[in-house]
Structure 1
Amino acid sequence: MEYPIKEEDFLPMDFTTVWAAIEECQRIGLTKFIGVGNFSCNELQEILDIAKIPPAVNQVEVNPCWQQKKLREFRNDRGILVVAYSTLGSIGTFYGNDRVVESEVLKKIAQTKGKTVAQVCLRWACVQGIGLLVKSFNRQRMKQNVDIFGWVFK
Protein backbone atom coordinates (compact mmCIF):
# COMPACT_ATOMS: atom_id res chain seq x y z
CA MET A 1 0.00 0.00 0.00
CA GLU A 2 1.18 3.44 -0.87
CA TYR A 3 1.19 6.21 1.72
CA PRO A 4 -0.39 8.66 1.83
CA ILE A 5 -3.42 6.84 0.52
CA LYS A 6 -4.90 8.44 -2.58
CA GLU A 7 -8.40 9.83 -2.23
CA GLU A 8 -9.63 7.79 -5.21
CA ASP A 9 -8.67 4.59 -3.35
CA PHE A 10 -11.12 5.28 -0.51
CA LEU A 11 -14.54 3.67 -0.61
CA PRO A 12 -17.53 5.41 0.95
CA MET A 13 -18.57 3.98 4.32
CA ASP A 14 -22.17 2.90 4.77
CA PHE A 15 -22.37 3.96 8.41
CA THR A 16 -26.11 3.26 8.69
CA THR A 17 -25.89 -0.41 7.72
CA VAL A 18 -22.65 -1.10 9.56
CA TRP A 19 -23.78 0.61 12.77
CA ALA A 20 -27.14 -1.21 12.70
CA ALA A 21 -25.26 -4.52 12.54
CA ILE A 22 -23.00 -3.48 15.43
CA GLU A 23 -26.03 -2.49 17.51
CA GLU A 24 -27.59 -5.88 16.76
CA CYS A 25 -24.46 -7.57 18.16
CA GLN A 26 -25.03 -5.75 21.44
CA ARG A 27 -28.78 -6.43 21.46
CA ILE A 28 -28.27 -10.20 21.08
CA GLY A 29 -25.62 -10.26 23.80
CA LEU A 30 -22.44 -10.76 21.79
CA THR A 31 -20.91 -7.74 23.50
CA LYS A 32 -21.71 -5.49 26.45
CA PHE A 33 -20.53 -2.28 24.82
CA ILE A 34 -19.88 -1.07 21.30
CA GLY A 35 -17.55 1.59 20.03
CA VAL A 36 -15.48 2.94 17.20
CA GLY A 37 -11.83 3.59 16.47
CA ASN A 38 -10.08 6.53 14.84
CA PHE A 39 -13.34 8.41 14.28
CA SER A 40 -13.25 12.16 13.78
CA CYS A 41 -15.84 14.51 15.28
CA ASN A 42 -17.73 14.51 11.97
CA GLU A 43 -17.76 10.73 11.75
CA LEU A 44 -18.88 10.43 15.36
CA GLN A 45 -21.70 12.89 14.72
CA GLU A 46 -22.76 10.87 11.68
CA ILE A 47 -23.04 7.78 13.89
CA LEU A 48 -24.82 9.68 16.67
CA ASP A 49 -27.38 11.00 14.17
CA ILE A 50 -28.49 7.46 13.25
CA ALA A 51 -27.64 5.44 16.38
CA LYS A 52 -30.19 3.84 18.62
CA ILE A 53 -27.26 2.81 20.82
CA PRO A 54 -24.44 5.39 20.82
CA PRO A 55 -20.81 4.28 20.83
CA ALA A 56 -19.37 3.88 24.32
CA VAL A 57 -15.78 4.54 23.21
CA ASN A 58 -13.67 6.00 20.45
CA GLN A 59 -10.17 4.51 20.45
CA VAL A 60 -7.63 6.92 18.96
CA GLU A 61 -3.96 7.76 19.13
CA VAL A 62 -3.56 10.37 21.83
CA ASN A 63 -0.56 11.46 23.85
CA PRO A 64 0.89 14.66 25.33
CA CYS A 65 2.24 15.66 21.90
CA TRP A 66 -0.99 14.87 20.03
CA GLN A 67 -3.70 15.72 22.51
CA GLN A 68 -6.78 15.45 20.28
CA LYS A 69 -8.36 18.37 22.16
CA LYS A 70 -11.20 18.95 19.70
CA LEU A 71 -12.17 15.29 19.74
CA ARG A 72 -11.99 15.13 23.54
CA GLU A 73 -14.18 18.24 23.87
CA PHE A 74 -16.67 16.78 21.39
CA ARG A 75 -17.10 13.61 23.39
CA ASN A 76 -17.52 15.38 26.74
CA ASP A 77 -21.17 16.27 26.15
CA ARG A 78 -21.95 12.96 24.49
CA GLY A 79 -20.73 10.41 27.03
CA ILE A 80 -18.21 8.78 24.69
CA LEU A 81 -14.99 7.69 26.37
CA VAL A 82 -11.80 8.43 24.46
CA VAL A 83 -9.43 5.49 24.85
CA ALA A 84 -5.79 6.12 24.03
CA TYR A 85 -3.51 3.83 22.18
CA SER A 86 0.06 4.83 21.37
CA THR A 87 0.44 6.97 24.47
CA LEU A 88 4.15 7.07 23.61
CA GLY A 89 3.57 7.94 19.95
CA SER A 90 3.71 5.63 16.97
CA ILE A 91 7.33 4.55 17.11
CA GLY A 92 8.01 1.77 14.64
CA THR A 93 5.20 2.64 12.25
CA PHE A 94 5.86 4.03 8.79
CA TYR A 95 4.20 7.31 9.80
CA GLY A 96 5.41 7.55 13.39
CA ASN A 97 8.32 9.19 15.12
CA ASP A 98 9.91 9.39 18.55
CA ARG A 99 8.92 12.96 19.41
CA VAL A 100 7.00 11.84 22.52
CA VAL A 101 9.70 9.72 24.14
CA GLU A 102 12.40 12.19 23.08
CA SER A 103 10.51 15.29 24.26
CA GLU A 104 12.79 17.40 26.45
CA VAL A 105 9.79 18.74 28.37
CA LEU A 106 8.52 15.23 29.16
CA LYS A 107 12.04 14.09 30.07
CA LYS A 108 12.40 17.00 32.49
CA ILE A 109 9.03 16.26 34.12
CA ALA A 110 9.96 12.59 34.42
CA GLN A 111 13.31 13.41 35.98
CA THR A 112 11.73 15.87 38.44
CA LYS A 113 9.11 13.31 39.51
CA GLY A 114 11.47 10.31 39.57
CA LYS A 115 9.39 8.61 36.89
CA THR A 116 9.87 7.50 33.30
CA VAL A 117 8.59 9.41 30.28
CA ALA A 118 6.14 6.54 29.76
CA GLN A 119 4.78 6.99 33.28
CA VAL A 120 4.40 10.73 32.73
CA CYS A 121 2.47 10.10 29.50
CA LEU A 122 0.19 7.52 31.13
CA ARG A 123 -0.44 9.75 34.15
CA TRP A 124 -1.20 12.70 31.85
CA ALA A 125 -3.82 10.61 30.05
CA CYS A 126 -5.42 9.52 33.34
CA VAL A 127 -5.60 13.11 34.57
CA GLN A 128 -7.32 14.05 31.30
CA GLY A 129 -9.99 11.36 31.82
CA ILE A 130 -8.72 9.28 28.92
CA GLY A 131 -8.93 5.50 29.00
CA LEU A 132 -5.64 3.72 28.46
CA LEU A 133 -4.41 0.76 26.47
CA VAL A 134 -0.88 -0.18 27.38
CA LYS A 135 1.27 -2.85 25.83
CA SER A 136 4.44 -4.39 27.12
CA PHE A 137 5.90 -7.84 27.37
CA ASN A 138 8.61 -6.58 29.71
CA ARG A 139 7.84 -7.29 33.39
CA GLN A 140 9.60 -4.18 34.67
CA ARG A 141 7.71 -1.91 32.27
CA MET A 142 4.43 -3.62 33.17
CA LYS A 143 5.08 -2.72 36.82
CA GLN A 144 6.02 0.84 35.83
CA ASN A 145 2.78 1.16 33.83
CA VAL A 146 0.78 0.50 36.99
CA ASP A 147 2.94 2.78 39.16
CA ILE A 148 1.54 6.06 37.81
CA PHE A 149 -0.45 7.19 40.83
CA GLY A 150 0.52 8.95 44.05
CA TRP A 151 2.05 12.02 42.42
CA VAL A 152 0.73 15.06 40.59
CA PHE A 153 1.86 17.51 37.95
CA LYS A 154 2.72 20.94 39.39
Structure 2
Amino acid sequence: MALKLAPKVKLNDGNEMPVLGLGTWRSYENDAEFSVKCAIDCGYRHIDTAYVYENEAEVGRAVRAKIQEGVVKREDLFIVTKLASHHHDPNVVEKACRESLSNLQLDYVDLYLIHFPVGMDFDYLDTWKAMEKLVPLGLTKSIGISNFNSEQTKRIVENCTIKPVTNQVECHPGFNQQKLIDFSKKYDIIITAYCPLARPKPEMKLPSFLFDEKTEAIASKHGKTATQVVLRYLIQHGVVPIPKSVNPQRIKQNFDVFDFELNSDEMKVMDSFNTKHRTIPFSQLRTAKHFPFNIEF
Protein backbone atom coordinates (compact mmCIF):
# COMPACT_ATOMS: atom_id res chain seq x y z
CA MET A 1 0.00 0.00 0.00
CA ALA A 2 1.46 3.34 -1.07
CA LEU A 3 2.29 5.84 1.66
CA LYS A 4 -0.12 8.76 1.78
CA LEU A 5 1.64 12.09 1.31
CA ALA A 6 0.50 15.60 2.11
CA PRO A 7 -0.98 17.70 -0.70
CA LYS A 8 1.18 20.59 -1.90
CA VAL A 9 0.59 24.29 -2.31
CA LYS A 10 2.14 26.17 -5.23
CA LEU A 11 4.42 29.03 -4.20
CA ASN A 12 4.66 32.33 -6.04
CA ASP A 13 7.94 31.28 -7.69
CA GLY A 14 6.45 28.08 -9.14
CA ASN A 15 7.91 25.69 -6.58
CA GLU A 16 5.65 23.57 -4.40
CA MET A 17 5.54 23.05 -0.62
CA PRO A 18 3.72 20.27 1.27
CA VAL A 19 0.86 21.74 3.30
CA LEU A 20 2.07 20.15 6.53
CA GLY A 21 5.59 19.72 7.87
CA LEU A 22 7.60 18.68 10.90
CA GLY A 23 8.91 21.44 13.14
CA THR A 24 12.15 20.78 15.03
CA TRP A 25 12.53 23.74 17.39
CA ARG A 26 13.78 22.43 20.74
CA SER A 27 14.40 18.98 19.24
CA TYR A 28 17.96 18.43 20.33
CA GLU A 29 20.63 15.99 19.21
CA ASN A 30 19.30 12.41 19.11
CA ASP A 31 15.70 13.62 19.45
CA ALA A 32 15.97 15.69 16.28
CA GLU A 33 17.49 12.85 14.26
CA PHE A 34 14.95 10.35 15.57
CA SER A 35 11.93 12.57 14.98
CA VAL A 36 12.93 13.41 11.39
CA LYS A 37 13.50 9.73 10.57
CA CYS A 38 10.14 8.85 12.10
CA ALA A 39 8.40 11.68 10.24
CA ILE A 40 9.81 10.68 6.85
CA ASP A 41 8.71 7.09 7.46
CA CYS A 42 5.19 8.39 8.24
CA GLY A 43 4.97 10.36 5.00
CA TYR A 44 6.24 13.82 5.94
CA ARG A 45 8.26 15.41 3.16
CA HIS A 46 8.48 18.95 4.60
CA ILE A 47 11.09 19.33 7.36
CA ASP A 48 11.74 22.66 9.10
CA THR A 49 14.90 23.57 11.02
CA ALA A 50 17.05 26.66 11.64
CA TYR A 51 20.64 27.57 12.36
CA VAL A 52 19.75 28.73 15.87
CA TYR A 53 17.99 25.45 16.68
CA GLU A 54 21.47 23.88 16.78
CA ASN A 55 20.17 20.68 15.21
CA GLU A 56 20.86 21.11 11.50
CA ALA A 57 23.52 18.37 11.62
CA GLU A 58 21.11 15.90 13.22
CA VAL A 59 18.33 16.78 10.77
CA GLY A 60 20.79 16.29 7.93
CA ARG A 61 21.88 12.90 9.25
CA ALA A 62 18.29 11.72 9.37
CA VAL A 63 17.61 12.96 5.83
CA ARG A 64 20.71 11.26 4.44
CA ALA A 65 19.89 8.03 6.25
CA LYS A 66 16.44 7.89 4.69
CA ILE A 67 17.85 8.69 1.24
CA GLN A 68 20.44 5.94 1.62
CA GLU A 69 17.74 3.50 2.74
CA GLY A 70 15.81 4.31 -0.44
CA VAL A 71 12.79 5.61 1.50
CA VAL A 72 13.00 8.96 -0.30
CA LYS A 73 15.01 10.79 -2.93
CA ARG A 74 16.39 14.25 -2.23
CA GLU A 75 13.98 15.78 -4.72
CA ASP A 76 11.04 14.31 -2.78
CA LEU A 77 11.88 16.42 0.26
CA PHE A 78 11.22 20.05 1.11
CA ILE A 79 13.92 21.15 3.56
CA VAL A 80 13.72 24.54 5.26
CA THR A 81 16.34 26.36 7.33
CA LYS A 82 16.82 29.95 8.42
CA LEU A 83 19.32 32.78 8.54
CA ALA A 84 20.15 33.70 12.14
CA SER A 85 19.76 37.30 13.32
CA HIS A 86 23.51 37.67 13.95
CA HIS A 87 24.13 36.85 10.28
CA HIS A 88 22.18 39.79 8.80
CA ASP A 89 25.28 41.53 7.46
CA PRO A 90 24.77 41.26 3.67
CA ASN A 91 28.43 40.25 3.33
CA VAL A 92 27.81 37.27 5.65
CA VAL A 93 24.53 35.91 4.25
CA GLU A 94 26.02 33.57 1.63
CA LYS A 95 28.61 32.26 4.07
CA ALA A 96 25.88 31.61 6.65
CA CYS A 97 23.77 29.73 4.12
CA ARG A 98 26.75 27.62 3.10
CA GLU A 99 27.43 26.85 6.76
CA SER A 100 23.87 25.61 7.19
CA LEU A 101 24.23 23.48 4.06
CA SER A 102 27.47 22.07 5.46
CA ASN A 103 25.70 21.26 8.73
CA LEU A 104 22.88 19.57 6.82
CA GLN A 105 25.33 17.99 4.37
CA LEU A 106 23.09 19.04 1.51
CA ASP A 107 23.85 20.81 -1.75
CA TYR A 108 20.80 23.04 -1.44
CA VAL A 109 17.75 23.72 0.71
CA ASP A 110 14.28 24.14 -0.73
CA LEU A 111 13.52 27.24 1.32
CA TYR A 112 15.78 29.67 3.20
CA LEU A 113 14.19 32.23 5.51
CA ILE A 114 15.27 35.37 7.33
CA HIS A 115 14.44 34.09 10.80
CA PHE A 116 13.58 37.47 12.37
CA PRO A 117 13.56 41.05 11.08
CA VAL A 118 15.67 42.22 14.04
CA GLY A 119 19.31 41.71 13.16
CA MET A 120 22.05 43.68 14.93
CA ASP A 121 22.30 47.08 13.20
CA PHE A 122 21.52 45.89 9.70
CA ASP A 123 18.44 46.79 7.71
CA TYR A 124 16.49 43.63 6.85
CA LEU A 125 15.96 45.02 3.34
CA ASP A 126 19.71 44.93 2.69
CA THR A 127 19.75 41.42 4.12
CA TRP A 128 16.94 40.44 1.75
CA LYS A 129 18.87 41.68 -1.27
CA ALA A 130 21.72 39.39 -0.22
CA MET A 131 19.23 36.53 0.19
CA GLU A 132 18.10 37.02 -3.42
CA LYS A 133 21.62 36.21 -4.63
CA LEU A 134 21.43 32.72 -3.14
CA VAL A 135 18.79 31.54 -5.64
CA PRO A 136 20.84 31.86 -8.85
CA LEU A 137 23.78 30.31 -6.98
CA GLY A 138 21.65 27.18 -6.47
CA LEU A 139 22.01 27.27 -2.68
CA THR A 140 18.26 27.49 -2.17
CA LYS A 141 15.27 27.09 -4.46
CA SER A 142 13.06 29.60 -2.68
CA ILE A 143 13.50 32.38 -0.14
CA GLY A 144 11.15 33.76 2.46
CA ILE A 145 10.75 35.53 5.77
CA SER A 146 9.73 34.69 9.32
CA ASN A 147 8.17 36.82 12.06
CA PHE A 148 7.72 39.82 9.75
CA ASN A 149 4.74 42.12 10.15
CA SER A 150 2.61 43.48 7.32
CA GLU A 151 4.52 46.76 6.97
CA GLN A 152 7.87 44.99 6.83
CA THR A 153 6.54 42.47 4.32
CA LYS A 154 5.17 45.24 2.11
CA ARG A 155 8.50 47.08 2.24
CA ILE A 156 10.32 43.99 0.98
CA VAL A 157 7.75 43.30 -1.74
CA GLU A 158 7.98 46.89 -3.00
CA ASN A 159 11.79 46.81 -3.15
CA CYS A 160 12.66 43.26 -4.14
CA THR A 161 13.69 41.36 -7.23
CA ILE A 162 12.53 38.02 -5.79
CA LYS A 163 9.37 38.05 -3.71
CA PRO A 164 9.18 36.07 -0.44
CA VAL A 165 7.23 32.85 -0.96
CA THR A 166 6.22 32.51 2.69
CA ASN A 167 6.15 34.27 6.03
CA GLN A 168 6.58 31.80 8.91
CA VAL A 169 4.78 33.11 12.00
CA GLU A 170 3.07 31.90 15.15
CA CYS A 171 -0.44 30.80 14.18
CA HIS A 172 -3.07 28.68 15.93
CA PRO A 173 -6.77 29.00 16.81
CA GLY A 174 -5.94 31.24 19.77
CA PHE A 175 -3.93 33.55 17.51
CA ASN A 176 -5.26 32.83 14.07
CA GLN A 177 -3.51 35.65 12.17
CA GLN A 178 -6.54 36.29 9.96
CA LYS A 179 -5.51 39.86 9.12
CA LEU A 180 -1.94 38.86 8.25
CA ILE A 181 -3.21 35.93 6.16
CA ASP A 182 -5.58 38.20 4.23
CA PHE A 183 -2.84 40.77 3.73
CA SER A 184 -0.32 38.15 2.57
CA LYS A 185 -2.76 36.70 0.03
CA LYS A 186 -2.69 40.03 -1.81
CA TYR A 187 0.99 39.40 -2.51
CA ASP A 188 0.63 35.64 -3.06
CA ILE A 189 2.68 34.93 0.07
CA ILE A 190 1.82 31.76 2.01
CA ILE A 191 1.71 31.83 5.81
CA THR A 192 3.55 28.95 7.50
CA ALA A 193 2.31 28.29 11.05
CA TYR A 194 4.86 27.60 13.74
CA CYS A 195 3.61 26.77 17.24
CA PRO A 196 0.35 25.52 15.63
CA LEU A 197 -0.77 23.83 18.85
CA ALA A 198 0.36 26.72 21.10
CA ARG A 199 2.79 24.54 23.08
CA PRO A 200 0.27 22.33 24.92
CA LYS A 201 0.40 21.94 28.71
CA PRO A 202 -2.11 19.12 29.36
CA GLU A 203 -1.68 19.31 33.13
CA MET A 204 -2.96 22.91 32.99
CA LYS A 205 -5.43 22.25 30.15
CA LEU A 206 -3.69 24.85 28.03
CA PRO A 207 -4.19 26.13 25.42
CA SER A 208 -7.89 26.26 26.21
CA PHE A 209 -8.95 25.71 22.58
CA LEU A 210 -7.30 22.30 22.58
CA PHE A 211 -9.25 21.14 25.63
CA ASP A 212 -12.53 22.94 25.01
CA GLU A 213 -15.66 20.78 24.88
CA LYS A 214 -16.59 22.32 21.51
CA THR A 215 -13.30 21.12 20.01
CA GLU A 216 -13.76 17.73 21.63
CA ALA A 217 -17.26 17.49 20.13
CA ILE A 218 -15.94 18.22 16.64
CA ALA A 219 -13.16 15.66 17.15
CA SER A 220 -15.63 13.02 18.34
CA LYS A 221 -17.88 13.60 15.34
CA HIS A 222 -14.99 12.96 12.92
CA GLY A 223 -13.36 10.17 14.92
CA LYS A 224 -10.28 12.32 15.41
CA THR A 225 -8.38 13.94 18.26
CA ALA A 226 -8.61 17.60 19.23
CA THR A 227 -5.05 18.04 17.99
CA GLN A 228 -5.98 16.67 14.57
CA VAL A 229 -8.97 19.01 14.43
CA VAL A 230 -6.71 21.99 15.15
CA LEU A 231 -4.22 21.02 12.44
CA ARG A 232 -7.02 20.40 9.96
CA TYR A 233 -8.50 23.80 10.83
CA LEU A 234 -5.18 25.51 10.13
CA ILE A 235 -4.79 23.80 6.75
CA GLN A 236 -8.32 24.86 5.77
CA HIS A 237 -7.57 28.29 7.24
CA GLY A 238 -5.01 28.61 4.43
CA VAL A 239 -1.77 28.14 6.34
CA VAL A 240 0.91 25.44 6.44
CA PRO A 241 1.31 24.09 9.99
CA ILE A 242 4.63 22.62 11.13
CA PRO A 243 3.87 20.85 14.44
CA LYS A 244 6.87 19.72 16.46
CA SER A 245 7.01 16.39 18.28
CA VAL A 246 9.58 13.77 19.20
CA ASN A 247 6.93 11.20 20.10
CA PRO A 248 6.44 8.63 17.28
CA GLN A 249 2.73 8.18 17.96
CA ARG A 250 2.07 11.94 17.95
CA ILE A 251 4.23 12.49 14.86
CA LYS A 252 2.11 9.93 13.03
CA GLN A 253 -1.13 11.28 14.49
CA ASN A 254 -0.30 14.85 13.49
CA PHE A 255 0.05 13.73 9.89
CA ASP A 256 -3.25 11.85 9.82
CA VAL A 257 -5.39 14.86 8.92
CA PHE A 258 -6.08 14.42 5.23
CA ASP A 259 -9.07 12.07 5.38
CA PHE A 260 -11.63 14.46 6.85
CA GLU A 261 -12.81 18.03 6.43
CA LEU A 262 -14.34 20.61 8.75
CA ASN A 263 -17.58 22.19 7.57
CA SER A 264 -18.18 25.95 7.67
CA ASP A 265 -19.89 25.83 11.07
CA GLU A 266 -17.00 23.87 12.55
CA MET A 267 -14.53 26.35 11.08
CA LYS A 268 -16.49 29.18 12.73
CA VAL A 269 -16.28 27.38 16.07
CA MET A 270 -12.50 27.17 15.72
CA ASP A 271 -12.36 30.83 14.62
CA SER A 272 -14.17 31.78 17.82
CA PHE A 273 -11.16 30.78 19.93
CA ASN A 274 -9.07 33.66 18.57
CA THR A 275 -7.89 35.82 21.50
CA LYS A 276 -5.07 37.52 19.54
CA HIS A 277 -2.69 36.35 22.27
CA ARG A 278 0.81 35.25 21.31
CA THR A 279 2.40 32.24 22.97
CA ILE A 280 5.87 33.55 22.06
CA PRO A 281 5.89 37.39 22.24
CA PHE A 282 9.70 37.87 22.03
CA SER A 283 9.26 40.51 24.74
CA GLN A 284 13.00 40.80 25.36
CA LEU A 285 13.38 42.37 21.91
CA ARG A 286 10.48 44.80 22.16
CA THR A 287 12.67 47.93 22.12
CA ALA A 288 14.86 46.73 19.24
CA LYS A 289 14.83 48.49 15.90
CA HIS A 290 12.63 46.58 13.43
CA PHE A 291 10.83 44.70 16.23
CA PRO A 292 7.79 43.34 14.33
CA PHE A 293 5.08 42.97 16.98
CA ASN A 294 4.49 46.58 17.98
CA ILE A 295 1.70 46.86 15.42
CA GLU A 296 -1.49 44.82 15.13
CA PHE A 297 -0.33 42.47 12.35
Q: Considering the TM-score relative to the shorter chain, is it more than 0.5? A: yes
Residue in 2 aligned with 1:87?
196
CA contact (8 A) 1:89 1:100 kept: no
Q: 1:13 to 1:104 in 2, by over 3 A?
A: farther
* Residue among 211, 217, 223 paired with 1:108: 217
Where do 5+ consecutive residues of structure 1 fail to align? 1-9
Matched, 1:37 2:146: yes
Which amino acid letter does the alignment assign opposite residue 147 of structure 2? N
* Residue among 111, 115, 139 paired with 2:248: 139
CA contact (8 A) 2:171 2:177 kept: yes
Which amino acid letter does the alignment assign opposite residue 18 of structure 1? T
What SS does the aligned partner of 1:22 have?
helix
What do the CA deviations read for 1:1-24 (whole angstroms, capped 9, x no partner)? Answer: xxxxxxxxx966512211111111
Which amino acid letter does the alignment assign opposite residue 194 of structure 2? Y
Residue in 1 aligned with 2:49?
none
Matched, 1:24 2:141: no
Residue in 2 aligned with 1:4?
none
Which amino acid letter does the alignment assign opposite residue 115 of structure 1? K
Residue in 2 aligned with 1:56?
165
- Give the count of matched residue pairs: 141
CA contact (8 A) 1:123 1:148 kept: yes
Which amino acid letter does the alignment assign opposite residue 169 of structure 2? V
What do the CA deviations read for 1:27-55 (whole angstroms, capped 9, x no partner)? Answer: 21111110111111111001111111010
Identity %: 35
CA contact (8 A) 1:88 1:100 kept: no
CA contact (8 A) 1:41 1:74 kept: yes
Q: 1:82 to 1:108 in 2, by over 3 A?
A: same
Residue in 2 aligned with 1:6?
none
* Residue among 196, 217, 236 paired with 1:127: 236
Deviation at 1:66, TM superposition (A): 1.2
Deviation at 1:111, TM superposition (A): 2.3
Matched, 1:70 2:147: no
Which amino acid letter does the alignment assign opposite residue 149 of structure 2? S
- The CA distance in 2 between the partners of 1:100 and 1:62, in whole Å, is 13
CA contact (8 A) 1:58 1:82 kept: yes
* Structure with greater strand percent: 2
Residue in 1 aligned with 2:208?
99
What SS does the aligned partner of 1:59 have?
strand
TM-score (normalised: structure 1): 0.82
* Residue among 223, 245, 257 paired with 1:148: 257
- The CA distance in 2 between the partners of 1:150 and 1:80, in whole Å, is 26
Cα RMSD for the two superposed structures? 2.0
- The CA distance in 1 between the partners of 2:122 and 2:172, in whole Å, is 28
- The CA distance in 2 between the partners of 1:23 and 1:43, in whole Å, is 17
The answer to which of 111-120 and 34-43 deviates more is 111-120
Residue in 1 aligned with 2:24?
none
CA contact (8 A) 2:197 2:243 kept: no
Q: 1:144 to 1:17 in 2, by over 3 A?
A: same
